[in-house]
A and B are shown apart, each in its own frame.
Chain A
Amino acid sequence: EAGAAQSPRYKIIEKRQSVAFWCNPISGHATLYWYQQILGQGPKLLIQFQNNGVVDDSQLPKDRFSAERLKGVDSTLKIQPAKLEDSAVYLCASSLLASGSDTQYFGPGTRLTVL
């Protein structure tokens, strides 16, 4: 099954600039996840939505990162202002249920480079 759709695929910005990423999950998937994957590491959860409500944002650096999922479908993740250490791939995933035991389907990710 194809995964979530994401855009843009690549983004290069300078530190202190802002950036936004977009995700469209698989139709009918109530749960949406944003992960950060730094080179050589596994994905790390940033935020999880169930419909348009936040389930877990404990690892989201809220001083600079924000995310929303209006209407319970598409989601945007924003970074403002960006730091060098934010350079990573930002992956969006979705699942039918809000359970860690449910298979997650990932999008191709947005590769962010902060200069």
Chain B
Amino acid sequence: SAVISQKPSRDICQRGTSLTIQCQVDSQVTMMFWYRQQPGQSLTLIATANQGSEATYESGFVIDKFPISRPNLTFSTLTVSNMSPEDSSIYLCSVRPSTRGLRADTQYFGPGTRLTVL
């Protein structure tokens, strides 16, 4: 498995502002993912972030609203831009370790960032 940390763990923000969430992993990983979990809901994939390439966004999510950086194999950031109350959610990063010999499709999740937009 991988140990994943996220900063901040929670924040309360004003509408119209932006927040950058950091995700740090204790080992090098190929694949990193960002998910949103709206209150009482399941998880929805926002984008897949590979090191050295542009993030791949899912339908309904755009780079201008959720820009992502992936500068190296242990770190990524997600920015929630021009926030509105509808962006209040838990944002989670996850990783799929680069393993050999095992089916490398298990994802491990960070503790999440709980965002409230007023």
Q: Is B truly associated with A?
A: no
- Enumerate chain A interface residues (CB-CB to B < 8 A): none
- Enumerate chain B interface residues (CB-CB to A < 8 A): none
